[in-house]
Structure 1
Amino acid sequence: MKRIIYILLLCLAVLSAKAGQDTPVRLGIIGLTHSHVGGVLNDKNKPYVIAGIVEPDKQLAERMSKRFGFSMEIVYSTMQELYDQQHPEAVACFNATYYHQDVVRFFAPKKVHIMVEKPLATNSRQAKEMAELAFRHGIHLLTNYETTWYGSHEAAAQLIRKGEIGEIRKAIFRDGHTGPVERNTHPEMIPWIKDPVLNGGGAVMDFGCYGANLMTWLMDNRKPLSVVSAFQTIKPDQYEEVEDQATVILTYPEAQCILEASWNWPVNMKTSEIYGKNGYIQIPDKETLLIRTGEKSLVQQINPVSRPAPYNNPFSYFCAVVRGSAEEDPQSSLQNNLIVMEILDAAKESAKTGKVIYLK
């Protein structure tokens, strides 16, 4: 009889855990001033319910409400109001990068998981405090990059780890567009994206972080030995306080990486070139990969499939991590993004001083 009761209790526990995994995550949205917020508000197959939105600018909230169809009844002025009224399990940040730290300070002690839009913070000092809070309170603190979900990057990494092009010797990452003012895709983002405090810089923070994230991932979280950079402001009438053009060189013991970040390019661009000891891979977009494995070999084009669910959507992925049905992706992890912040800090210091910065 005891054995039967034990089996029944075990089955109930399994069913309860399964039910918990299938229950939509109660997700809070912090801020509406980042252009990427449309991705979460317009998600048609979401494994979450939007428990509430924090946005003190009511006019902005009303415009976004009309555009995306959410009720103004779930809009709150403060994080405290959201938490008291809705008790979200997780929050996604779409505010200025400088305020990511405030979100972690508030929600980490309450055991609420957090995803921020790239980069993690405006500097390493902020990032380290945020990481310490996440570790202390046992929450996930993830950073979302568009390029994490590219099938082409995932396929390239698999080929590199299989030794198809040999050890990495050089990588070039080009990320940029015509500029946030010129694009005017989300007017509420423009004031803070070109603010040296709220964004931590200009193009290097907006776009240099992509290549730093990808190279750190491909190098298995090994830091570069040194960082040297050159910044320019080509359009001072638009970007008077920050750089709109940045080139950063990372040096490793047997490899070099170039990050090219720009608000001056004629088209939107996120491309990668990875050169190994025996061949190279070029990634012109998220669906295409070109590989050449030797001097006498031909270039092969590969069109990799999309990453499997939930790794094909940042918010489905975040919810799966919260539910425990998916592991943290290395590109989103704190281990990676703390190094990214060190690289960005060193790049800004090098541009300021004209010196090569050596990482500890």
Structure 2
Amino acid sequence: MLDTTVSRKGATDGATDTPARARRSVPAGPLALLLAVALLVAVTAAVAWGSTSIPPDEVWSVVWRRLTGHAPRPGTNDLIVWQLRLPRALLAALVGAGLGLVGTAMQALVRNPLADPYFLGVSNGASLGAVAAIVLGLGTGGALGLGLSGAAFAGALATFALVWAVARRGGGFAPLRLVLAGVAIGQFLSGFTSYLVLQAGDEQQTHSVLFWLMGSLSGASWPLLAAPAVAVPAVLLLLQARARGLNALLMGDETAAGLGIDVVRLRRELFAVTSLLTGVLVAVSGAIAFVALMVPHVCRLVVGGDHRRLLPVSALFGALLLVVVDLVCRTAMDTQELPVGVVTSLIGAPALLYLLDRRLGSGS
């Protein structure tokens, strides 16, 4: 009886890592505070640096005057800070945080460390919906309007439902089958997306869509921040409230059910929520690769597998990572801007290979 109690407590408290890794984990509170400070510094740098450099104290002066309702000072600094760079830096932070949350939740839901919106086809479905809205003229308010957000969400949700139905054929639940179904369906949808891009009659529209599909935050504006500013904190709070269930899912469906978790209901709820957030993120930033896959791995190595600690740390680290990456994309070249997805892939692929090598080398 004592052994069973300890085992169940370990499942719900997230004691899914090896003992050695649990001993190496750092306190989540101080780490979260450090990441928050680093994020604030990164956002300040992202707003200050560019083709026109602005001193950090001037950046905060502009922000303070705007927030307190004072008249903006004459000159271009106010326009650059408030209308151009600050919305973009905040959008990068929100998208990075959202991708960190989605990746963490999906990896727990399917009990597979390779799960992310790409491997499960959700990003492909969201991209197909968004591209269809652009090419067929179904979006409103420009390429990143509310119509595009709705189309991306519908594509993400429909894709997840299809992947889930294929994976559940024959009864039961196999995480490997879910991933394979997601990869196959995602590749099919990617091909259809490419076909739609080729049907675009305007060369400039085709170029814009392709750039957006590789990930871009160049369309950032204050109105565009509304959807992710609501969705990301809401999903964080919901996932944090379900952290015990996510911990239990890692131990298997039978163990989770034995702990009083309604596994079917929890999965349906979290699949819908992660699909919604994926659709929102793809609609405002395009398809950004590797962040949702890499961030949970890095954070899990540092704070362990307990989702009560892992979720907020993943959100903060994802936000910090994407703010820094977007700053590099915007300033690395004088003549053009790099797509965000290109840089995240160049960083993410080697980093993921290194992490996998460490895990395999340690036998975990």
TM-score (structure 1 length as normaliser)? 0.25
Higher helix share: 2
Higher strand share: 1
TM-score (structure 2 length as normaliser)? 0.25
Of structures 1 and 2, the one with the larger relative CO (CA 8 A, separation 6+) is 2
